[in-house]
Structure 1
Amino acid sequence: MAPPQTDLESTVTDDAPEAYRDLMDRYARVANLESGAGVLYWDQQVMMPTGGTPARGKQLSALSATTHEKLTSDAMADALDAAEDADLNDEQAANVREVRRRHDRNRSLPEELVEELTEQQSHSQQVWQDAKADDDFAHFAPTLETLRDLHVERAEAIDPDRPAYEVMYEDGEPYLPLERLEEIFEELKAGLVPLIEDIADSAVDLPSPFVAAGPYDDDTQRGLSDAVLDLLAYPDDRGRLDVSAHPFTSGNQFDARITTRFKPEDPMDAFTATVHEFGHASYELGLPDDRFGEPLGASLSSGVHESQSRFWENHVARTEPFWEGFVEEANDHLGTDATAREAYAAVNQIYPDNLIRVEADELTYHLHIILRCEIDRAFVEGDIGVDEIPAVWNEKMDDYLGVVPPTDTDGCLQDIHWSSRFAAFQGYTIGSVLAAQLDHAMRAELGDDRVDDLIREGDLEPLWEWMTENVHSHGRRYPTDELVEEATGEPLTAEYFLDYVEEKFGDLYDL
């Protein structure tokens, strides 16, 4: 299902304005350096021995400094000025707009700060891993505080007239205003909290036949992950599956790698993580090959990226039609005899007392996100100190979900994000909201019954093709609001997500 092209031929042709060709040649070097740094990051998370951290930090720091120098140079500024004065078509103008945005945003950053921040991020990830393994937040706290200070310094250098948190937020979501996100959060809290309460009060129990038959070794679970990736047509020549402490995706349209992790007692954790990361990879693989090295050959934002993972995880792999077609494959791998309905119920079970975000169900997940965003912002803005994070985390977990983590490993140390960046959790909820909106638009075009039949039969190519045509192929041509309207015909709204979860879980829990 991935695009069939294999030749890397750029769309920047000889008949394009000379100034535009010069600009895109310069930007391609920036993009290639960043792509190389991405491979080093993947290696650090998956393959690198832990002792390699100091050298890796220096390597990534040098790459980031070189990238920054090329992106913000006077030569790049002159090339941008010349290209903006040229006669450009719409796609060329979009490429120039995106290069301009990145150039202007980064030009005020001192190169020394860029190097220091990159090296600190590399160092912080190993410190976080050690602290998490040892349940020792105090070990991570000084590193986290240093990283926060560097990010604040960076944000203030980019725009000293706006709050640092807002500037950081725009790293991942450059075109969706923070105010709109806050409105969506309020809409979700108003709809999800009473729904979760109704489910908690219901007498319906949805036990998992897969959990009951465990534990499962890694090889068994790896076999199940490989099987679903085969069904999804994840291409062997452009991707690979590995294991990491925190599942993630890294790469581009030629090389989109994913990771998962295995829990002996619950194979559905790795299964859904694998499908989720495949969704991220599907976006990268759906980007146009001939735009590699251009903004139009890169993904748009963290929220749009998350919409793809949430679509494949929730609107495909957590549907009843999917399990009607896949349950026997799962039974063969796991040695179980679950029915399709039992499997469907098992992967959609709601458990508000769950401690871990990446293991959370489809509803309580967003309370995990809101909790993190609130702590994240309070820490960045100086309203709470680093030493207060564990206590504030536990208080909010108790308030929102009625459970208190027994350890920091299961609490404030569980996520990798704070070892690299801040103001990044919002994209997960934006993605879920947009995934439901895209699913609605897809079903309106292809037909509800046909989409269900395709999922049931394992014929998923038309779904990937629809996403590629409506989302992936555009790269960064459109800002987020315009992309959503192009794909769905209306602005981003939480309406479809709330309708979807009320119908789905109302049925499962007899509400």
Structure 2
Amino acid sequence: MATEASTESAPEAYDELVAKVKRISNVQNAAGVLGWDQQVMMPDEGTPARSQQLSALSAISHELLVEDGIGDLLDDLDSADLSEEQAAVVREVRREFERAARVPTELVQEISETSSEALPAWKEAKAENDFSKFAPLLERHVELKREYAEHIDPDKDPYEVLFAEFEPCLPLEQAEEILDEVRETLVPMIDEIRESESDLATDAFAGTFDEDEQMELSRSTLDTLGYPWERGRIDVAPHPFSTGTMFDARVTTRFDESDPLGAVFSTIHEFGHATYTHGLPDEQYGTPLGEARDLSVHESQSRLWENHVGRSQAFWQQFLPTFQEHFSQSEDVTVEEAYEAANQVYEDNLIRVEADELTYHMHIIIRFEIERMLISGDLDVEDVPEVWNDKYEEYLGVRPETDSEGCLQDIHWSHGNFGYFPTYSLGSVMAAQLFAAAEEDIDDLDGQIREGEFDDLHEWLTSNVHSHGQRYETNDLVVEATGEDFVADYFLDYVTEKYGELYDLDSA
């Protein structure tokens, strides 16, 4: 487990650097709480003030990083004798500093203001199925992010620069190679599944499920998995998310009265994010050793809990009675039927967060391709709905009838988060490799899940992933946890075996 570096042997410049970094972290975490409030609790007309508040904190954070002597301290530490953990802290701060120092504070502030204004515009556009209400702010985001990338590295593909904002330790080329392998395996598999004659229990949870009771079920789900309520809470948000620190990692979910599994898996997914945050070492709060290792690793934790645990037959053997306690109309559903319902591959799903485990990745690829065209200038914002619908028809065989179920369904572009989406699929791939390693190390993990015992899995993930914070870069962390390089093989073997058995596929 990562432990706090000894301050007795640390150079004076290192101690001063850490103090400044902790101050920046506190400003950013305060902004995070305001961001959570904006999505969960803030009155509808609070945006003008909240926009200015978040913009000010964003500017302060940027100024503290680039104008408070951090560059001089990093120079002083260039040849210092540092421990491995101290060197990791300096490496991570240097990366952030070098990017930030190239970007004017005014641009950082403008991006923050645009994000605050875009969020309510997106909510309104989605509610009213009117892309034109969001389009001007999306266009502004695209312009600002091109300018942002230009400042950081004018010689690089701007999308590559933006991808590094979320995944700085994985080359975009490596990410694309992994995504290509996923696409090449899943496209024919999905076609074969749709042509199969397997009769899964897809309507096992048909009916109407009260939203208030779904919230109680979500709380029971978190209880089952071991969520520490003294360090978190659950709320409702239009687009589920998790945010916070190891002392306060909150989750959100959402409900559909006709789809109780959607809330269950959304809750488990966000629990995975929160348990990563909770697993970061308390004593490293405010430093890179107390921060998650970027989004692919973060997503690996949510997808591991959602798919490898929550969608497993073992999980439903112990969780189905809990579900039935909340919804008696499902009292006749069997474990096998629940497992099949949890893993059906949809014929006509349009919504990413409601997608099954396989077609989910086609949703990601569509967004990835559209983002690249937007940033490169090969696609105008006004044409996004039509291109989006065309790609859904091409890749998934369905065409959205409204923008609300099409290009307005995701929140990410309202934040200006271009380069974010690939990390979802990369995280799923990583989850399979990590879970396979955990199965090797934990005696009868499947049996433990069947009994509702998750302590060993929590401890394995904390020891091998969470406790390191940003000590290791992404590829090195995967090697440290699994003993092997980050590859797509484990994910491809996992989905081939699982769905081959479920759908009796010839390729299995």
TM over 0.5: yes
Deviations 1:103-148 (A, max 9, x none): 0110011111111110111110110000000000011111100011
Q: Could you tell me which residue of structure 1 aligns to residue 66 of structure 2?
A: 72
Could you list the per-position Cα deviations for residues 395-454 of structure 1 after superposition, in whole angstroms to 9, with x for gaps in the alignment?
10000000000100000000001101211100100000000000111111224xx10011
Counterpart CA distance in 2 for 1:210 and 1:201 is 21
| Alignment partner, residue 299 of structure 2 | 306
Match of 1:133 in 2: 127
Give SS of 2:192's match: helix
The separation in 1 between residues aligned to 2:377 and 2:368, in whole angstroms, is: 14
Within a 5 Å distance, the mapping from 1:177-326 to structure 2 comes to 177-212=171-206, 214-326=207-319
Ranges in structure 2 where 5+ consecutive residues have no aligned partner: none
Whole-angstrom distance in 2 between the partners of 1:424 and 1:327? 34
Equivalent position to 2:408, from 408, 413, 417: 413
Please report the TM-score for the alignment, with normalisation by the length of structure 1.
Answer: 0.96
Tell me the equivalent position of 1:107. Answer: 101
Corresponding position: 1:428 with 2:424: yes
Partner deviation per Cα, 1:28-59 (whole Å, 9 max, x = no partner): 10111111110000000000011011110100
Query: For the residues of structure 2 that align with 1:186 and 1:102, how far apart are their CA atoms?
Result: 29
C-alpha deviation, 1:466, in angstroms: 0.4
CA separation in 2, counterparts of 1:374 and 1:315?
Answer: 28
Q: Which amino acid aligns with 1:491?
A: D
Q: What amino acid is aligned across from residue 342 of structure 1 in structure 2?
A: E
SS at match of 1:412: coil
Residues 224-262 of structure 1, C-alpha deviation per residue, up to 9 Å, x if partnerless? 111110011101110100000000000011000000000
Give the equivalent residue in structure 2 for 1:89: 83
Is the Cα–Cα contact under 8 Å of residues 320 and 335 in structure 2 kept in the other structure?
Answer: yes
Q: Which amino acid aligns with 1:218?
A: E
Q: 1:12 to 1:109 in 2, by over 3 A?
A: farther
What is the alpha-carbon distance in structure 1 between the residues aligned to residue 336 and residue 454 of structure 2?
A: 21
2:114 corresponding residue in structure 1: 120
Select which of 413, 438, 443 maps to 2:439. 443
The match for 2:468 is 474
Partner amino acid, structure 1, of 2:93: V
Q: Which amino acid aligns with 2:421?
A: F
Structure 2 residue aligned with 1:381, among 356, 376, 390?
A: 376
% identical equivalent positions: 54
CA distance in 1, matches of 2:203, 2:126: 31
Name the amino acid aligned to 1:149: E
**Mapped partners of 2:23, 2:79: distance in 1:** 22
**SS of residue in 2 equivalent to 1:361:** coil
In 1, Cα distance between equivalents of 2:23 and 2:403: 42
Which of 18, 23, 27 is the equivalent residue of 2:17?
23
Counterpart in the other structure of 2:40: 46
Deviations 1:157-192 (A, max 9, x none): 111111111100000010111111111121111111
Rounded Cα–Cα distance in structure 2 between residues aligned with 1:88 and 1:10: 13
Residue 96 of structure 1 and its aligned partner are, at CA, apart by 0.5
Task: Work out the CA distance in 1 between the residues paired with 2:6 and 2:378.
Answer: 49
Query: 2:320 aligned with 1:327, yes or no?
Result: yes
Provide the residue aligned with 1:6 in structure 2: none
Separation (CA, whole Å) in 1 of partners of 2:360 and 2:47:
32
Distance between the aligned counterparts of 1:37 and 1:265, measured in 2?
35
* Matched residue, 2:154: 160
Question: Given residue 321 of structure 2, which amino acid in structure 1 is its aligned partner?
Answer: E
- Looking at structure 2, the residues matched to 92 and 220 of structure 1 have their Cα atoms a distance apart, in angstroms, of 48
| SS of residue matched to 2:197 | coil
SS at match of 1:41: helix
Among 146, 152, 170, the alignment partner of 2:140 is 146
CA contact 1:259–1:274 (8 Å) conserved in 2 = yes
Distance 2:404 2:105 in 1: 35
Q: Distance in 1 between matches of 2:432 and 2:217?
A: 26
Does the alignment pair 1:356 with 2:354? no
Code of the aligned partner of 2:324:
N
Asked if 1 retains the 8 angstrom alpha-carbon contact of 2:5 and 2:85, the reply is no
Which amino acid is the alignment partner of residue 231 of structure 2? R
- SS of 1:237's partner is helix
Q: Distance in 2 between matches of 1:245 and 1:502?
A: 33
- 8 A contact 2:39–2:237 mirrored in 1: yes
1:340 aligns to what? 335
- The residue type paired with residue 109 of structure 2 is E
Q: CA shift at 1:217, angstroms?
A: 1.3
The one-letter amino acid of 2:76's match is A
Task: Give, in angstroms, the shift of residue 13 of structure 1.
Answer: 2.8
Is the 8 Å Cα contact of residues 191 and 498 (structure 1) preserved in structure 2?
A: yes
Counterpart secondary structure, 1:414:
coil
Aligned counterpart for 2:398 among listed residues 403, 407, 410: 403
CA pair 258-12 structure 1, distance change in 2 beyond 3 A: farther
CA RMSD of aligned residues (A): 1.3
For residues 44 and 78 of structure 2, the distance between their equivalents in structure 1, rounded to whole angstroms, comes to 46
Structure 2 length as normaliser, TM-score? 0.97
Q: Read off the aligned partner of 1:483 and give its amino acid letter.
A: L
**Alpha-carbon distance between aligned partners in 2 of 1:459 and 1:445, rounded to the nearest angstrom:** 16
Residue 314 of structure 1 aligns with an amino acid whose one-letter code is N
Structure 1 window deviating more from structure 2 (359-368 vs 179-188): it is: 179-188
